[in-house]
Chains A and B, each alone.
Chain A
């Protein structure tokens, strides 16, 4: 034992001491030289050659040649070059070196990060997708979500809108829960986080998406929706490397929606009459003689500027990476912006051979102005185009006839967010022996968010006009500590065993302070000290806390890399549960490298590697309110006569709440063909969630409205395919491409409290998928009043026919009505009509029959009224499949990369258009097509019902199939063309490497959808695919330059 200790610690120390000594006394110097070439034998310039453990080094010249003076006692040379595998070459007395460097292959020996450790990609038995920094670089991403879209099969990423700084919706393998908690868990450098929007994508080294239960279960309780592990960059041994990246882009509205002009608006105002337009308005009237193109007026060319700076490097003892990034975006809608400053310090310090410290410090500051979409964008779509925006003296026309001035709304309605966040992580790793090491870390994340909003009195229509505003502060912290031991050993060269066991403690605390008030002393001061009336109901503070404890373990075994076995177990406790606090989440997976079997030898020529995988596991979800298991007394909103009263919370606490459990089975295959030129990964999964955490109704007689229960079950099934390859690989020309494709089918197996229609448009029913649109099917428009005629059983609609003149025209009498002669069946047969003995039957809305110009609604139950029971499934809000096609083509120093994103088979509820055609609010302007084609006279053949006020039940119901549109689209998501400057030339400019590029994002979209954009995110889990007219997405064109020093 003592001897071992000596050997293990004293000897290296001794060696190091000698090395240090050698430096100090300026030992003898010898000269070495050599040449570095690539696999194709071409010289490689710019390769860094360093004496290991020192800062002595040089880079190769244009011919790949280097000469270097090194201390004679140097032992090892380190060759490294971006995109190549680093090499360590023992000096062993040699003075010339001919080195061939291998390209870093997207290959089999790559290591991926899994929960609490790493694994060879080759030996993975779960469903994991990895994304590395090269892929990230191609995307010019503002945030992590931009990177993920279309890149990973099974991962649906949708940005909620085009507003700068807006959130994203992300679903891994479908929707498996009802309320909250549908986002995956993010683990950034070992720290579980729920929000990663403040992370600078340029700091990321790799991302791993753990999709199946077997991979994710080690994160237990929060892993039911998948886990995304993010690893940030660390320094590499050698001289300090400085990277500077700058990009600038110009953004514009990607698509305009048809909107009425002043003439069309006047046509619309005349909609109830057949004669010429007669307007009571003064033709010289001030406020109604404009013709605005509102989409032009409220949009601008947005600019994005981004500067990133990073310095990295280190010695064998200390490696560091530090970065600073600044982003400044102005949105395409007036007065919207987002600014972010983010920084990171990563350091890894090898204190002794056995002890290593790792520190991560991140900080960010973000400032965003979120404009009010309803008041700016939606008002711009509704406002009559002839209303002026400014009076002749230049002042705003704030409100005309209830329609807001969108420009004034953008500038006078302030909604400013400032978010500070800091994350600190400190880890110590101690190697007990060759096989066993212990790691322990503590980390803390702190977030301070400030929101100031102010609505100028000028925007209001009350007398007197009163400004209102508020100030909201949220502070959150979470602290965690974890410790785990990992054991890794190969027995007899064939049995590889590894094990991990550990524990984690996490603690969250959040508080918020909200102030709201009105009647500001002066609008020049919009802070809360300026209010004269405090709004008690909008003023409150609150604090909540919760905590979790987890114990976890993993056991992996591999026999010759041929038979693979992995098993995780986690036991978690959460403060959110009382009586059933603890949950256990086991998982297991197996892999079989079939290509290593003898009977597969025949395929060796084509099939380099083939592995079959199967996994099973249980993961959990606990994403509910912190105190839903407790019965609470609350206050703050129960005032009477100046006393703040107290009452029970409206939701009843359920002490028996427990973990929502998702059981997932996954089958997969990883195949590598043609010497790694082509790889195919496929997965099939079945995911069942039981004990859905769900708000159930309480009998209101008891004084409560809801209670959270574990009831109900959802199933998600699907498959994912990823195909990637290098179709062309020549000396100067390489084309890499990958295609991925995902399908998910979702079904509700059981429900608490029976089927229902959520938010009057989506069916939530047993046996049905989530997110199906449910409503009235529009079959057309009644041509005449008489067209509302049915047989007595309401199964067939009859076609009336009228008296015609010799030319065949229907004769319209003086009263505007044709003369009815009889009815025919749809197939042309005559209906034996008799007004008394064989009458026709009319469909009604309430008690009144439908008339000409009304929509023909499908009569599902074949009775005489169109009511709730005539609704049916009209479409689905979730896509049938989605996928991406990513390409990278390089010729010499030029690289072209582009990627397509496809989302197919869903419908979109164009609610923005719907609100324009209810005609229930004065001065809302429909789109030109509706204006020109709305039914106006008996006999008109059209697909647009009449545009009368107050006839919503007759003409435009919510939800009607009239407003459902095909939401499929193909998008050229990004395109980037880059040029890497010759290193030798770069060197003359005192730079190691220069890359310049042009790029475009969201350049083209092929779709039939008529709204701003078919990509829709946000909203309730159960209510996908509704377009309320949110902030439109932008088309981005930009350029940038990356410099390495």
Chain B
């Protein structure tokens, strides 16, 4: 009787447990609440828009500081200004693999975003191709732009064109691909982007036909394919949407209000509140909260001063106090250096006529944002950039007059009337130097100069003496140091990848 009792109860418990177990799996299936599982996404064209916004956020994180670190600081544009020591690594050509600036994780995260977009946007159900073509085009163009930065910075890089989703058999570690393979991918992505774009140019803050053509020109120049550079830029000009500015006020506006400028092709949008802080422009050139880290190198300053009428001088450099001190001191680099606000560049800063200078008691001054509030729309491509690339290509192809014409136009619009003529620029090389100089002055602070030096094989020529001047006895040293090191964290997770010689892995 008792045993039976126990048995009955046991049976009941077993039965109950059985029921419970069946219910358990359902009970234990907890879906995320404020995040999204993948199978609920990619349902409407709006999903594509939102995804693309996330991809541009990746571009912000990739280029917000690195547009400058990768593209300019190692060149001959700047010298040390602040009190920090991090800058010295760039200025004395002693890069190492633990510097955060050489970490490619943000770049590849942006590529991953593009890869997801390219794979999944076409699968959005019930949508006609034209509805999603623009988003798809932006994904291709973004992937091309990111890989283009990657090859310029690290040379051969892993070429990944599909999103990683942990699928069965999906490759998890990639080796580095030859630059030629990456180049082929960049070119085919550009072609795909152009096929998808319908030729309208809705915004300078997003990739479109024009910015993709600008990218195509830049890529062609990097790989010394001058003919294609000219044909790509021809197509860009044929859009008839851009023209060079005609006066210094409009020149300045390209940096303070690019959306209204006729020269702006692609700018990086920024909103410090939404993006969780400012981009690097203030930190590097002109900050309201700290000493800026870099300042214009003296030869450039001297060139601008010698030109006297070149409006880029005072539109790039805060010469206000210099003018104020004018009665006391000569207009020299040294007197500029004495300024209270330690040589800020005002290229990206807005003039505020009501601002009071407390020391000298006059009205009017530039508003420099605090580092964390800097929301400059960093220019990625401008018409003058493409025009000067075009000039370079003309020069290389022996079409010097066309090249000189471009350089002169660029100069005249900012008030410098002296023309480049065949007389003082005999030969391809001289004219090339003149074009490069014009690019240097025009594009200072826009992340272009170092790439210019690398592209035209002039790193050693230009940088060796400068580094010696900075006290590095060996000068530039190993020519392989033109490439950046790969960040040490990469080797921890991916044993296939080897460091760029002569850098060390950790």
On A, residues with C-beta under 8 Å from B are 1, 432-433, 436, 462-463, 485, 487, 501, 503, 505, 507, 511, 533-538, 541-549, 551, 573-575, 581, 626-627, 630-650, 652-655, 696-705, 753-754, 868, 950
Which of B47, B50, B158, B160 meets A644, CB within 8 Å?
Answer: B50
CA distance A565 to B86 in the complex (A): 66
The contact sample of 5 A-B pairs, CB cut-off 8 A, is A581-B28, A643-B49, A645-B53, A697-B493, A701-B174
The reply to whether A547 and B27 contact each other, CB–CB distance below 8 Å, is yes
The residue on B at minimum CB distance from A577 is B28
The reply to whether A537 and B274 contact each other, CB–CB distance below 8 Å, is yes
The reply to whether B57 and A462 contact each other, CB–CB distance below 8 Å, is no
The reply to whether A702 and B57 contact each other, CB–CB distance below 8 Å, is no
CA distance A642 to B375 in the complex (A): 14
Give the contact stretch, choosing among B110-118, B187-195, B390-398: B110-118
Q: How many positions in chain B have a CB within 8 Å of any CB in the partner chain?
A: 72
Beyond A631-B166, A647-B57, A699-B493, 13 additional contacts (C-beta under 8 Å) are A462-B289, A503-B17, A543-B34, A551-B20, A637-B57, A640-B54, A640-B57, A641-B206, A641-B271, A645-B52, A646-B53, A697-B493, A703-B163
Q: Which residues of A contact B172 (CB under 8 A)?
A: 699, 702
The reply to whether B35 and A632 contact each other, CB–CB distance below 8 Å, is yes
Known interface pairs A544-B32, A702-B164; A485-B13 also in contact (CB < 8 Å): yes
The reply to whether A647 and B32 contact each other, CB–CB distance below 8 Å, is no
Known interface pairs A634-B35, A703-B108; A642-B173 also in contact (CB < 8 Å): no
The reply to whether A537 and B28 contact each other, CB–CB distance below 8 Å, is no
Known interface pairs A536-B274, A547-B27, A697-B489; A645-B56 also in contact (CB < 8 Å): yes
The reply to whether A639 and B174 contact each other, CB–CB distance below 8 Å, is no
Q: Which residues of B contact A638 (CB under 8 A)?
A: 53-54, 57-58
The residue on A at minimum CB distance from B163 is A703
- Asked whether any CB of chain A lies closer than 8 Å to the CB of B214, the reply is no
Which of A544, A631, A650, A654 meets B34, CB within 8 Å?
Answer: A544
- Asked whether any CB of chain A lies closer than 8 Å to the CB of B361, the reply is no
- Asked whether any CB of chain A lies closer than 8 Å to the CB of B269, the reply is yes
Q: Which residues of A contact B271 (CB under 8 A)?
A: 639, 641-642
The reply to whether A647 and B58 contact each other, CB–CB distance below 8 Å, is yes
- Asked whether any CB of chain A lies closer than 8 Å to the CB of B273, the reply is yes
B20 to chain A, nearest CB (A): 6
The reply to whether B27 and A639 contact each other, CB–CB distance below 8 Å, is no
Which of B35, B51, B269 meets A649, CB within 8 Å?
Answer: B35
Which of B165, B275, B494 meets A631, CB within 8 Å?
Answer: B165
The reply to whether A635 and B54 contact each other, CB–CB distance below 8 Å, is yes
Known interface pairs A547-B28, A700-B489, A701-B174; A647-B113 also in contact (CB < 8 Å): yes
In chain B between 41 and 96, which residues have their CB closer than 8 angstroms to a CB of chain A? 41, 47, 49-58, 60, 85
CA distance A545 to B30 in the complex (A): 7
B90 to chain A, nearest CB (A): 16
Q: Which residues of A contact B55 (CB under 8 A)?
A: 645, 647
The reply to whether A462 and B50 contact each other, CB–CB distance below 8 Å, is no
Which of B6, B28, B105 meets A700, CB within 8 Å?
Answer: B105
- Asked whether any CB of chain A lies closer than 8 Å to the CB of B328, the reply is no
Which of A630, A639, A643, A705 meets B32, CB within 8 Å?
Answer: A630
The reply to whether B269 and A640 contact each other, CB–CB distance below 8 Å, is yes
Q: Which residues of A contact B506 (CB under 8 A)?
A: 868
- Asked whether any CB of chain A lies closer than 8 Å to the CB of B457, the reply is no
In chain B between 159 and 202, which residues have their CB closer than 8 angstroms to a CB of chain A? 160, 163-166, 172-174
CA distance A637 to B60 in the complex (A): 12
CA distance A537 to B274 in the complex (A): 5
| A-side interface mostly | strand
- Asked whether any CB of chain A lies closer than 8 Å to the CB of B320, the reply is no
- Asked whether any CB of chain A lies closer than 8 Å to the CB of B354, the reply is no
CA distance A665 to B104 in the complex (A): 47
Q: Which residues of B contact A547 (CB under 8 A)?
A: 27-28, 30
Q: Which residues of A contact B13 (CB under 8 A)?
A: 485, 501
Which of A432, A537, A633, A701 meets B35, CB within 8 Å?
Answer: A633
Q: What 5 pairs across the A-B complex have the smallest Cβ distances?
A: A703-B112, A645-B54, A645-B53, A537-B276, A543-B33
Q: Which residues of A contact B116 (CB under 8 A)?
A: 648
- Asked whether any CB of chain A lies closer than 8 Å to the CB of B36, the reply is yes
CA distance A636 to B50 in the complex (A): 11
**Cβ proximity bits B1-39 to A, threshold 8 Å, 1 near / 0 not:** 100011001000100010010001101111011111110
CA distance A538 to B1 in the complex (A): 68
B14 to chain A, nearest CB (A): 10
Which of B17, B38, B113 meets A703, CB within 8 Å?
Answer: B113
CA distance A547 to B277 in the complex (A): 37
Q: Which of B50, B60, B288 has the most CB of A within 10 A?
A: B50
**Cβ proximity bits B259-276 to A, threshold 8 Å, 1 near / 0 not:** 000000000010101111
B256 to chain A, nearest CB (A): 18
The residue on B at minimum CB distance from A461 is B289
Q: Which residues of A contact B289 (CB under 8 A)?
A: 462
A450 to chain B, nearest CB (A): 20
Q: Which residues of A contact B165 (CB under 8 A)?
A: 631
Which of A511, A581, A626, A700 meets B490, CB within 8 Å?
Answer: A700
The reply to whether A631 and B490 contact each other, CB–CB distance below 8 Å, is no
The reply to whether B164 and A637 contact each other, CB–CB distance below 8 Å, is no
The reply to whether A537 and B30 contact each other, CB–CB distance below 8 Å, is no
CA distance A700 to B100 in the complex (A): 13
A434 to chain B, nearest CB (A): 10
The reply to whether B490 and A646 contact each other, CB–CB distance below 8 Å, is no
In chain B between 285 and 332, which residues have their CB closer than 8 angstroms to a CB of chain A? 288-289
Q: Which residues of B contact A633 (CB under 8 A)?
A: 35-38, 41
The residue on A at minimum CB distance from B159 is A701
- Asked whether any CB of chain A lies closer than 8 Å to the CB of B339, the reply is no
B216 to chain A, nearest CB (A): 23
CA distance A630 to B166 in the complex (A): 11
Known interface pairs A641-B53, A642-B274; A575-B104 also in contact (CB < 8 Å): no
In chain B between 110 and 164, which residues have their CB closer than 8 angstroms to a CB of chain A? 111-113, 115-116, 158, 160, 163-164
The residue on A at minimum CB distance from B1 is A1
Q: Which of A485, A645, A655 has the most CB of B within 10 A?
A: A645
CA distance A637 to B109 in the complex (A): 14
Which of B33, B273, B493 meets A534, CB within 8 Å?
Answer: B273
B147 to chain A, nearest CB (A): 12
Q: Which of B29, B274, B370 has the most CB of A within 10 A?
A: B274
The reply to whether A627 and B35 contact each other, CB–CB distance below 8 Å, is yes
- Asked whether any CB of chain A lies closer than 8 Å to the CB of B492, the reply is yes
Q: Which residues of A contact B490 (CB under 8 A)?
A: 699-701
Q: Which of B57, B111, B165, B172 has the most CB of A within 10 A?
A: B57
Which of B27, B56, B163 meets A641, CB within 8 Å?
Answer: B56
Q: Which residues of A contact B494 (CB under 8 A)?
A: 699, 701
The reply to whether A647 and B109 contact each other, CB–CB distance below 8 Å, is yes
The reply to whether B109 and A703 contact each other, CB–CB distance below 8 Å, is yes
CA distance A699 to B490 in the complex (A): 6
Q: Which residues of B contact A535 (CB under 8 A)?
A: 273
B273 to chain A, nearest CB (A): 5
Q: Which residues of A contact B36 (CB under 8 A)?
A: 632-635, 646
Q: Which residues of A contact B33 (CB under 8 A)?
A: 511, 542-545
B382 to chain A, nearest CB (A): 19
Q: Which residues of A contact B160 (CB under 8 A)?
A: 701-702
- Asked whether any CB of chain A lies closer than 8 Å to the CB of B103, the reply is yes
The reply to whether B28 and A575 contact each other, CB–CB distance below 8 Å, is yes
Known interface pairs A543-B34, A703-B164; A697-B50 also in contact (CB < 8 Å): no
The reply to whether B108 and A701 contact each other, CB–CB distance below 8 Å, is yes
- Asked whether any CB of chain A lies closer than 8 Å to the CB of B205, the reply is yes
Q: Which residues of B contact A485 (CB under 8 A)?
A: 9, 13
CA distance A701 to B490 in the complex (A): 8
Known interface pairs A646-B54, A652-B166, A698-B493; A549-B24 also in contact (CB < 8 Å): yes
Q: Which residues of B contact A644 (CB under 8 A)?
A: 50, 53
The residue on B at minimum CB distance from A543 is B33
Q: Which residues of B contact A642 (CB under 8 A)?
A: 271, 274
The residue on B at minimum CB distance from A487 is B6
Known interface pairs A645-B56, A647-B113; A700-B103 also in contact (CB < 8 Å): yes
